[in-house]
Amino acid sequence: MLKSLKSTAVGFATAALMAGPAISEGHGGPYADYAGTTLIVNFPAHPHYDAVMKILPEFTKETGIEVEVDQLPYLKMRERQTLELGQDEGEYDLIAYVVFSKADYVYADQLENLAKYFMNPKLSDPGYDADDLIDGYVYNIGFAGGNKGYLQGKTGSLFGIPYGSETSILGYRKDIFEKHGLDVPETYDEMLDIACQIPQLEPGMGGVASRAASGHHASHAFLLHLAPLGGRVFDGEWNPIVNNAAGVQAANALKSIVDCGPEGAKNFGFGEALGAFLNGDTAMFLDTTVVAGQIDDPSKSQVVGKVGWALHPMGTRRGSQTGGFGIGIPANAENKEAAFLLMQWLTSKKGDKLVALAGGNPSRFSTHGDADVNAKFPHMATFGEALKHADPDWRPIIPVWGKINADLGTTLSKVLTEDLDIQEALDGVAERTRAVMEEAGYYTWN
C-alpha cells in the first residue's frame, strides 16, 4: 500500500507539473489530449534500451507525456509480463518483448492489433513511412497469423513494431589478422580454420568468443550456426529435423568454436563472451550487433579502434539471426492511445535516428544509410548490409518453443562439457521435441 501511495504522490506531482506548461504553451496537435498522462512502460536492460532511456526526455519535452520505465533483465521481463498481461487490468501501457514471446502473447490475445491505431487519423502520423522499416524484422517480430502461423503471409497482421533490431555479425581484430596475414573469413570452413589457428599463433588468445552456457545461451549459439549451414529446427510439417546432417554440423561448429575459444568458454553467457572479446582474449566475436557501442567505449573495452566488422560467414547460404525486441501495446493497458503515440514516435524516422545516434540499433533502412549516423558509427553501413541477409525463420516462434529451447540448451551444454555424442544428443532432442509438439497438437492434421 505504501508503494501505491508513493506512486500516486509522484503521479500527482508530475501531473501538476505537466499540466501547467502543457496548457500555457499550448501543445497543439496530436499530443494535446494526452499531455500530462504518465505511461508505464516495461523495457529490458539492454544496450539499445539504454540508448532509448537517453532519448525519452526528448519525447516528454515534445509531447508532454511522461514516461516511467521499468527496466528488467529480459528473462525477468518476460516473467513479469506473463503475470501482468494475465490480469484483467495491467500496469504496463507499452511493453518491449523478445521475438519468441510474440507467439505466447498473440496466441493468448494479450497484444493489441495495431490496425485500428494506424487507421485512426487522429493518432496515425501520415509521415511515418512504414515501408522504410526493415522487412525481415517487421515480419519476424511484428507479424503473426501468416505462414506457419508466425510469419508474414496473406492471413497475417501486425501486433508490434520491431525496435532494437539485431542481427549477427562477425567482429574481428584487425591488428591480429594483419599481424599474421590472415584473411577475413567468408565461409564457415574458413572461420573455423582460423578460429583454431589463433590459439597457436597467439598463445593465450582464443579464436571466437561465443556464448555456450547451459540453457538459452547454448541453444542460441547453436541456432546461430544452424541457419547458415542449411539446417532448420522443423521441416514444413513440423517434424523435428534438428538431428539431420546440418544440425550435427552446426553442433560440431559450436563445439570447435568453444574448444578453440578462450579460457572457460564452456560456461560463457553472453556477458562473459563479450567480456572476453572486450578484454582482448579472443580474435573474433560472432554474435549480435548490439555490442558495437561497448566495443568503442574506452571505459569498458581494451580493443577500441582495433575491431573490424564483416558479414556472418556463409555455410550453404547466408542467414544471420533476427533477434532483438519489438514493442507492443498490452490488451489490458490503461492508456493505449498515448502508448501508441509513444510507439510511433520512437519508431519514426526522427526517433530512429535519435536512438541510433545515442548508440541504439536502428530499425529503418534510411537510418542505416543516414550520413550523420554513419559519420558517428562507420560500421553502420556493414550492419545495414547484414540486415538484408537476416533470416526471419532462423528459429521457430511457437508457444511451446520455450520448452524445446530449454531442452536444446541443456543438452548442448552437456555435449560441450560432458562430451556427449552429438548425434545421440540431437536425436534425443528431436525425440523429446516430437513429444512436446504432439502434445501441443501440431500433428493433428497429419
Partner 1 sequence: MSGAHKKQNSVFYVLIAVLVFMSVGPVLLMFVNSFKLDVDIIGGTTGLLFLPTIQNYETALCDILWYEPEHLDFCALKFGGSFINSLIIALISTGLTLVIGCMGAYALVRFRFMGRDTVSLTTLMVRMLPPAVLLVPVFGLWNNEFCLDKEGLIGGMIRESFGGRGDVCLAGTHSGIILIYVAMNLPFVIWILQSFIVQVPRSLEEAARVDGAGPFQVFFKVVLPLIKPGLAAAAIFTFRIAWNEYLLASALSDRDTKTVPILIVNNMSEFNVEWGVIMATGMLLAIPPIIFTLFASRQIITGMTAGAVKG
Partner 2 sequence: MSIARVNRMTPYMFMAPAAVIMAIALIYPLGYMIWGSFRAWDPSQTIGEAEFVGLKNYVTLWNDPNFRESLGVTLKFAFFVVTFELIIGVGLALLLDRNIRGMSLLRTMFILPMMIAPVVVGLMWRYMYHPTVGTFNRTLESLGLPSVDWLGSHALMSVIIADIWQWTPFIFILSLAALQSLPRSALEAARIDGATAWQQIWYIKLPLMMPVLIVTGLLRLIDAFKVLEVILVMTEGGPGLSTEILALRISRTATEFRELGVAAAMSNYLLMLLLILTLGMFAFQRIQEARAARIRAAAEEDV
Residues that bind partner 1 (CB under 8 A): 1-8, 11, 45-47, 50, 53-54, 70-73, 76, 80, 83, 87-91, 217, 269-272, 274-275, 278-279, 290, 294, 298-300, 302, 334
- Residues β-bridged to residue 68: 40
State whether residue 327 is helix, strand or coil: strand
Stretch touching partner 2 by CB under 8 A, among 27-35, 192-200, 378-386, 400-408: 400-408
- Residue 287 φ/ψ, nearest 5 degrees: -170, -155
Among 53, 69, 151, 406, the residue binding partner 2 under the rule CB under 8 A is 406
How many CB atoms within 10 Å of residue 45? Answer: 12
Binding partner of residue 91 among partner 1, partner 2, none, CB under 5 to 8 Å per kind? Answer: partner 1
H or E, element range at 436: helix 422-440
Stretch touching partner 2 by CB under 8 A, among 47-55, 60-68, 365-373, 408-416: 408-416
Are the C-beta atoms of 33 and 340 separated by less than 8 Å? no
Question: What whole-number distance in Å separates Cα of residue 288 and Cα of residue 136?
Answer: 16
State whether residue 115 is helix, strand or coil: helix
The least distance separating partner 2 from the CB of residue 373, rounded to whole angstroms, comes to 34
Binding partner of residue 54 among partner 1, partner 2, none, CB under 5 to 8 Å per kind? Answer: partner 1
The least distance separating partner 1 from the CB of residue 20, rounded to whole angstroms, comes to 21
* Total of residues contacting partner 2 (CB under 8 A): 29
- Residues β-bridged to residue 162: 326
333 binds partner 2 (CB under 8 A): no
Stretch touching partner 2 by CB under 8 A, among 92-100, 156-164, 240-248, 259-267: 259-267
Residue 339: what residue type? Answer: A
Residue 107: what residue type? Answer: Y
The least distance separating partner 2 from the CB of residue 408, rounded to whole angstroms, comes to 12
What are 53's three cell numbers?
A: 532511456
CA distances from 195 to 74, 184, 289, 412 (A): 30, 11, 20, 20
Residue 251's region, left for phi above 0, alpha for psi from -120 to 50, else beta, is alpha
The least distance separating partner 1 from the CB of residue 1, rounded to whole angstroms, comes to 6
Task: Return the DSSP state at 10.
Answer: H
What are 428's three cell numbers?
A: 534425443
Q: For partner 2, what does the binding mask look like between residues 32 and 71, x meaning CB under 8 A?
A: ----------------------------------------
263 binds partner 2 (CB under 8 A): yes
Binding partner of residue 413 among partner 1, partner 2, none, CB under 5 to 8 Å per kind? Answer: partner 2
Residue with cell 499530443: 31
> Which residues bind to partner 2, rule: CB under 8 A?
75, 79, 82-83, 85-86, 108, 213-215, 262-264, 266-267, 272, 275-276, 279, 281, 402-403, 406, 410, 413-414, 416-418
